[in-house]
Structure 1
């Protein structure tokens, strides 16, 4: 039985800004460049109370919270703080799987700090982060990764939530199926069409029926509904791509996809700012109304240096699509791939493995 801890720094970028500038404490802080194409990188909890969220267009954030203080992101500083958090984690285990600059999984089945339980390890980490860095982190403790990640959200901010093995099923049962990893809006709608809204309802569906309906993914759904996740913590896991995609409620012609491509490029650009390595390739993904998938990619020199430039590169890839002009499309995606491992910064906190512009 594994003992997994998921550590998630609370409103990381915004919290660093508030820590370093006392004038920002207690005020709604939005980390973003303020402009028509900018997207929120992070929002303090004071700003979140007004509905401001990461990846939201900055203009919308300003409308929701006119009194917000906009602070341009300083990723060099965030990565330096991130390295300090990493050092704290390494006091307890070498088995650390990074997810981004501000969160990671730890396998503490056998910890190196001599603490008796995973709960004690999580508490010690949170205490050290508060005392040494004047920041807060939330933690989830569970027998596997996906339950630990869900648990870390339950007492945010600055919280600790523990799901022991005997409580995994009761913990998952009332949750919306959208809380399960891999269940996005489209899959949630498909499950809702079958009157499946909660994890407990999903668990009641026979596994063969889920497999018949959804193929191999149906088996994975059945396992998740039962709290089964054998995925180990992978300390050397390296992300190969960053992407974002939209599935439309109505199909569109190719020349109608410009706004969606621009919006997706902004999301991807924000996510890319958390990655220590530069990408070398821009990718555009399309799915037709007949479910034909096609991709176009390029490796421009130099690579795009802003969200706007990334959007322009993705729009240029759209011009290389040679299907009939009346073809309709149900999905579009924008991505960055082929990250340069040689440029990896080993001193970044959770040097990210594998999800706008800021």
Structure 2
């Protein structure tokens, strides 16, 4: 159905879940033409390397970065401060690369802004692979925030500032470890997720048109909340995802994290992994808890802050940075 921007806001406030396909109506049209094959993921074989990198992860960087990132009045993708927050984020990603990457790493990394008409651009940081296998591994989070009434304060600390700094910390640690993958590994920070998965649709459509191969895509959307009275755990979404890659993700949790996982359902294609699935690429989604125990009372309001409750946990976020590191190394492979 065709709606105005105002009607779209009203539909979202009313609880309707949707893709805004205005600029990506042909997404997935080439999927049927792509060779159909069930992805095969390797047995875990980089334990020493993963463990070594995990030991270098810290909550210090994520805390400092999220304090700044959630200080913007809103990161709504059509707002001036949404654009300012994106400009800050890309400058921080570049700063991390400049400070953490060795000269040999500098030669195989790139950081690009994926341009969007609404002004807040998505960001793609890539570590080139060293082998002929050009199937891409993607780790994603969305950078924008929203209030149910756009332009009201939306600090978005958990949704999805937490995922944003979670994968940024994994990126920093991988660069600092001099990680030279066999396959290309990309980190994506999407714009416009709250507007209907806009940034991720645009990038997935671009990759589909270019006939790029994606080996695995993992989305990190909300990684900080541990509800009082519940077990600390990783929520692994099991609906609207690739089953084979989901099972691989569970193996990573068992092997490298200090907390268990729980199967949970979103009930709809609820984050930026969904456009990749629509384009025919294997994608998964991992979040802070079972869906019923997530931070639903504060997100999309002015209360989505790091200081709202001791249920907001940087040590919990660290477990997801561990998972991101393991995902990148075990699937990306290594020259070593």
Q: TM-score, normalised by structure 2?
A: 0.27
Which structure's CA Rg is the greater one?
A: 1
Q: TM-score, normalised by structure 1?
A: 0.26
Q: Identify, as 1 or 2, the structure richer in strand.
A: 1
